[in-house]
Copies of this chain bind each other. A is one copy, B any other.
Amino acid sequence: MKRPPEELAEKLLAVSDQLSGTDLDISVDDIAKMADVPRATLYYYFSGKEDLISFFLSDKLHRASVAIGKAVAGEGNVVERLENTLAALLKVMMEHPALCTEMPGAIKEAAKYTEVVNEAERVMLAPFRELLIEGKATGELVIEDANTTAIALMGAVNMVAMFQLVQTGTIDLENTTAVLIPQLIQGVVPR
């Protein structure tokens, strides 16, 4: 990918914002028409459709990383920060549905989406893993395998978000945050 000039990038990202969820389904031709750009131009800057999609997802990940980073590095003890980060992830998925609907597909074909998957690992997974490791070190958390647990947490949030998006078209942020996050943190057996 030959990074596109500012003007083109803006047009494309504007289009990608209108495209919630269905990202991977749209045709290059439609993207070109919506952005009012010749199809061939897209192939000049992007090595193919995947590259173009990656560009979209990458942008969303970039925006997401700000919100998540803030939650991770914010005030509070480890548990509070973990809660905030989970909440931030859910919010990010509401604002950028493609992050939750398309990411599993990208992970599945990690070979084709190397870049994006690496970014996603950095933005959506690593923060959890590090919080878990920190919490384990201080004794605030009980973690067997930080990596596996981080993946599990992300997967849980992802699946819940996707179900809601598909069924209702949006995410009930307030209620879901209040219900899901304590459940993940506390587990399902009584204390």
Q: Which residues of A are interface residues toward B (Cβ below 8 A)? A: 21, 25, 79, 82, 101-102, 104-105, 107-110, 132, 135, 139-145, 148-149, 151-160, 162-163, 166, 176, 179-180, 182-191
| Complex copy number for this chain | 2
Q: Which of B21, B162, B191 contacts A104 (CB 8 A)?
A: B162
Q: Is the CB of B79 within 8 A of A162?
A: no
Q: Is the CB of B162 within 8 A of A132?
A: no
Q: Is the CB of A187 within 8 A of B186?
A: yes
Write the nearest CB–CB distance from A10 to chain B, whole angstroms: 27
How many Å lie between the Cα of A16 and that of B38 in the bound state? Answer: 39
Given contacts A140-B189, A142-B186, A145-B180, 17 further A-B contacts (CB under 8 A): A82-B188, A101-B108, A105-B108, A108-B166, A135-B188, A139-B190, A141-B188, A148-B176, A148-B180, A152-B156, A156-B156, A156-B159, A159-B159, A186-B187, A186-B189, A187-B188, A191-B191
Chain B residues, Cβ within 8 Å of A109: 25
Q: Which residue of B lies closest to A161 (CB)?
A: B155
Q: Which of B135, B139, B155, B182 contacts A159 (CB 8 A)?
A: B155
